[in-house]
Every structure is written in C-alpha cells, then in structure tokens.
Structure 1
C-alpha cells in the first residue's frame, strides 16, 4: 500500500534561491524535451485527409525520442550548460520521465485507455515541483530532512511517520505560502480485510447533493460549507487588483501571490472539511455505499460552480484512502 505524507519546509534564503534555480532549469529542460517529441511527431505524420499517398512524398522516418534516448542525451546537456550539473542526476532524469508520461497520455492514452489533451509547454513559474525517485530511510534527522545536493532543510513534522513504512520518493513543491515536501511511503505487508461482507445491517448509504453535502440513510445531514462562495467577493477584489498591474512588475508579482494564497486557503478549507467528514463516517464502523456520480457531466451545466465548490470527487478519493489505511 502506498500513502503520502506532506510536511512543510522552512528552507534558508540560500536554499530557496537554489531550489528556484532548479525549477527554472527543469522547466527549460522539460520544454526542450517536449519540443523534440513534437518535432518527431510532425516529421513522421502525413495528413491523409489533405493529400493522396500516391502524390505526397513521405520522408525517411526519424527515430522516436524515448525516455532512454533523452536520458542519455543529458550528458551533452551538462557539457553545453554546466549549470545543470548542480541538479541531482535523478531529479533531472525524473523531468524526462514527466515528459514521457505526458506525451504517452496524449498519443496512447492513460491506464484506462482514454487519451488526454495535448501537453503544453511550461510557462515561467509553471514548473512547481521536482522529485527524488529514491530517498534514504534516514533522511529525516530530528527537525531536519536531508535533500541531496541541497542539504539539511528544516522540517515541520506535524505527525510522525507510521511504523513499518518505507520511504520511496520525495517531491519538493513550491506553493503560494511556502515550500512543502511530500514523502511517498510503501508498506509491503498486506492489510487484513474485513471478513464480514456488506449487508443492509452493516452498511451505511450516503447521498451527496448541493443542498446538503451528504445525507445518510438514517437521515443525518451535513450542510455544504460553500467555501468558494464565501470567498468569492474577496477573490474578485484580488483579481481586479491584479488586472490593474503591469504584467511582470513587482506589484504584479505581489498581487499574484496574494491571489494565489486566497485560492490556496479555500482549497485547504475544503480539504480539511472532507477529511473530517470522512473520519466521521468511518467512526460508525460500517461499510459505506454511495451513488455513481457523473461529476464531469454536472460540471458542464449551470451547476458547475456549486459542484466544483462541493468537491465530491476529492471527498470520495480521501474516503477511499482512509478505508485502505484501515484495510477495508
């Protein structure tokens, strides 16, 4: 079983400058590798609907750039641009892996076989995280965490790591209110499943809506908090203030940060609400059944803002994770 624990970081000014430099270099590398794949795709395709195969000339097919070929080319990148030598090698390779995943989801589809949208180039400030694919088990040392090539960074460990779990990866993320590290933990042991099959007696049914966030089969209702609706006036003021600033100026950056913090607060409030409701449902000690919701379909109607404000999908995801932790 894999779980993720997120902690806040308190890096020094020099560490912040180094991590921001990494993100900018990784953003440029991501765009360069994605451009290589787009170039290959354009050179190896023919618009059959626009011309006949008997008339058009098909050039010699080029080799498709994949994860391994682009990873081998990182040696040339470091030779031409020595600043890339300051980045951890596995972090740089993970950037290539992200390009591979984004490109494959567009051409081949995801695990469900559904093709996603065409990947886009990352603009300034749009590359916000980097990942260490391997971490040592003793990386947390007291109130600090050791990040390779960055050093010891102060860690706000609000909850201890669960026993028996192994640290697999670490992702450092830049958010509007600071820096965070997400540790991916794995437990090789198989949890004990509940031997009792779901029945009408040991199952609780929930019905989610917009008047009430959910209503149980016993008639217990939880109102919708509507965090986004409450913050909408404030968000509108901040957005209007941002639109009056010259793009790229210092005042524009400060206004953009204030707006991002306001949106982050709404997201954190909604996440905290979902987590508390999930714990309340699990405290009843019963199986939980819910209706099959077509959230994407409802998000295209006039109820889109209310549906997204309720966050049904994220709530069901949190509920599923909590159930897996209990071995259900």
Structure 2
C-alpha cells in the first residue's frame, strides 16, 4: 500500500533562502531541457515528402532523451557552478519531470487523447522539488534531514504508521510557507479486506442541489465555499489589478493575499471532502458512484458550481480512503441512472428542472434518491466477481462488459 503524509516545515532564514534558490535553478534547468526537446520536435516533425523544394533538407538531429540529458548535467555543473550545490538526485528528478510532461504531449493515452503543449515555467509555477530516495531514520526529534540542506524543523502532527518506509520526499512552497510530502509504502498491507460485507452497500448520487444523496435517503448539503467567499475574492482581485507595475513589492503582497484566499477555500473544500469520505467508509463496505465525465461537465453552463463542489477530488478521495480501509468502490455507467425508474426500470424522461420522479408503476420519490438507488442496483453485479476483478474495481476501474450487461439486464 502506498500513502502520502504532508507535514509543515519551519526552516531557518538561510534554509528558506537556499530552497528558494534551488527552485529558481531547477526551474531554469526545466525550461532549458524542455526547449531542447521542442527544438528537436520542430526540426524533425515535418515528413520528407512535405518539405518545400526551395530549401535544403537539414540532417536529422538526435532526439534528446532522458539518460542523455542526465549525462549532460555534468557539463551543466562545469559551466554553472551554482548547480553543484543542488543534490544530484533532485537535479536528475527535474529531468524526469521534463520527460514525463513531454511524453504526455507526444504520446496518446489508451483513449487516443493527448495532453496539451507543455508550458515553460514561471517563478510562481515551479514550487516543488523531490528527493527520489530517502534514508531510513531521516526524521528524528521533530526534525527531518534533507541532503545538502540539513536538519529542518518539522511539525509532525501525526506519527508515521508502523511498518511503512519513506520512499520519496517532496518539498513544496505554498502561499503560507514550506511543506514536505512523504510517500510511504508497506507491501504487506492488503489492498482489499477479505471480509467485505455485501449487505453494507450504498449508492451515492452527486449533485448541486445537495452534495450527495445516498440510496438510504441520507443527504449531505452542499457548502459552496467558493461562492460564499466570492465577494472577498473580487475585492482582492481589484486590489491586485490596481498594482499595474509587475515586479513591485506592493503587487507581490497583493498577489500573496489572493493566493492565501484561494488556499483557504481549497482547504475548506478538502476538509469537507475528508469528513464526508470518512463517514461513508466507516458506515459502508461497498460504495458505488457514477463514472462521470467531469471535464466535459465543467464546460457546461454549470461549470462554476461543479468546480466549486469538487466532484473529481471527492471521488478520488473516497477511492483512496476505501482502499486504505479494505473497502470497495464501484464506478458504474451513469447512462440512465436519473431517467430510469428504480422500481420497474422504465425510462421516465426528466429535464434538469424536474426534481421529482413519478412513474406509472406508482413509485414516487426524489429524483436524486431514485438515481442513488439505480447506482446501487448497478453495483450489485460485483457480488460474484473473482478477487482479481474486485481488486480492479477497488482502484476505480470499470468492470468488464459482461458484468455491465448483467447489471442492465437485472435492472430491466
């Protein structure tokens, strides 16, 4: 099992200045290596039969690859001695980030979609560096030992679980200070508990009227943290726009105030998601939800409310909490969950304004509750799947086509 713990750091002024220098140097190295790859891509992407005849054909350049750029760091340290002060693993991890982001741009995923063109990083967009390897016992007496930085004070608000080892360490600079994220691993912890109770299953329907409605007719109100603090955000945005000259001290202060406001809203939403996810995991063994296309929904006229609710972040958190507790999460096809009747399976068309489900079979209930019951019914096909399929379901994968057809036939 792999988990991540985040702690706050209290570095000294010299340590904070050193880490800020590292971020700036790593950002410049990231942009330089990304520019190398873009230069190769621009010079070699044109096919030979599409080149204009009036110009000469340049020889094909070698593609900058991961290990070649790592070997070139030796020359970088010779030309720029300030890079010698950066820990070698941290500098090599910067090359790994370039490779990852450029591969996502060139290669399509399983659905045939590619990521957008990578952007060069500004100072405000490169805020972390990673130690890929950490020694055992690096945390002692509320201090963490970071190579080439020294012992940094750590606010360890919770201990590291017994049996877990630290794999990686990421230092992040946020609006209110420095944080460290530790990636912990323990291969002996099972992914799914063998004593999952099939009767403790629930279907949840995410919405904007209520944050979620369960198949047991329990509702969680939606807080709308961003909308409630919208007036404060507009005031801070206006204060920042008045400081027109970039790079001034006053503009930096105004930008920091706005960043802290966004951070506060994000933390409020995250705290709310954690509380709801823990409540679901403690009460139920199987949690079924819709496999929503949140990116597509975020492009509709309801985008502001959907992004404020944070459905994607909440679903990912429920999967993580369920996996840690040995529970199951099932993603079902959202097609028809709102329109179909949970009692007889007949399709009852409804618009977004219709909030009540009324069927000819006599069933009348709230449309969100009807959808939650349908989601639970669709997830019941997991009851007889083998352990391998159940493990895939727990980490958020779709069940196979046969089980989906079985679910649809059982509902009808």
56-65 or 179-188: bigger deviation: 56-65
Q: Which runs of 5+ in 1 are unaligned?
A: none
Given the alignment, which residue of 192, 205, 208 partners 1:207? 205
CA distance in 1, matches of 2:35, 2:14: 32
Cα deviations by residue, 1:266-296 (Å, 9 ceiling, x for unpaired): 0000000000000111121331111221211
Provide closer, same or farther for how the CA distance between residues 79 and 104 of structure 1 changes in structure 2, counting only shifts above 3 A: same
Deviation at 1:58, TM superposition (A): 3.5
Deviation at 1:47, TM superposition (A): 6.1
318-327 or 300-309: bigger deviation: 318-327
CA distance in 2, matches of 1:256, 1:166: 38
Deviation at 1:110, TM superposition (A): 4.6
| 1:93 corresponding residue in structure 2 | 92
Aligned length in residues: 326
Contact 1:165 / 1:186 at 8 angstroms: preserved in 2? yes
CA distance in 2, matches of 1:101, 1:259: 31
| 1:125 corresponding residue in structure 2 | 124
| 1:154 corresponding residue in structure 2 | 153
CA distance in 2, matches of 1:271, 1:188: 28
Cα deviations by residue, 1:24-44 (Å, 9 ceiling, x for unpaired): 000000000001111111111
Contact 2:236 / 2:258 at 8 angstroms: preserved in 1? yes
CA distance in 1, matches of 2:31, 2:211: 41
Cα deviations by residue, 1:176-198 (Å, 9 ceiling, x for unpaired): 01000000011111416333577
Note if 1:23 corresponds to 2:23.
yes
Deviation at 1:217, TM superposition (A): 0.8
**Bigger relative CO (Cα 8 Å, ≥ 6 apart):** 1
Deviation at 1:124, TM superposition (A): 2.4
CA distance in 2, matches of 1:177, 1:197: 42
| 2:9 corresponding residue in structure 1 | 9
| 1:256 corresponding residue in structure 2 | 255
Secondary structure of the residue aligned to 1:212 is coil
Note if 1:243 corresponds to 2:241.
yes
110-119 or 231-240: bigger deviation: 110-119
CA distance in 2, matches of 1:123, 1:106: 19
Provide closer, same or farther for how the CA distance between residues 313 and 113 of structure 1 changes in structure 2, counting only shifts above 3 A: same
| 2:397 corresponding residue in structure 1 | none
CA distance in 2, matches of 1:135, 1:237: 44
Please tell me whether Structure 1 or Structure 2 has the larger radius of gyration of its CA atoms.
2
With structure 2 as the length reference, what TM-score do the two structures score? 0.76
CA distance in 1, matches of 2:108, 2:185: 27
Contact 1:46 / 1:58 at 8 angstroms: preserved in 2? no
Alignment of 1:180-199 (within 5 A): 180-191=179-190, 193-195=192-194, 199=198
Contact 1:204 / 1:289 at 8 angstroms: preserved in 2? yes
CA distance in 2, matches of 1:192, 1:75: 42
RMSD: 1.8
260-269 or 36-45: bigger deviation: 36-45
Deviation at 1:57, TM superposition (A): 4.6
With structure 1 as the length reference, what TM-score do the two structures score? 0.95
| 2:290 corresponding residue in structure 1 | 291
Provide closer, same or farther for how the CA distance between residues 119 and 290 of structure 1 changes in structure 2, counting only shifts above 3 A: same
CA distance in 1, matches of 2:124, 2:262: 17
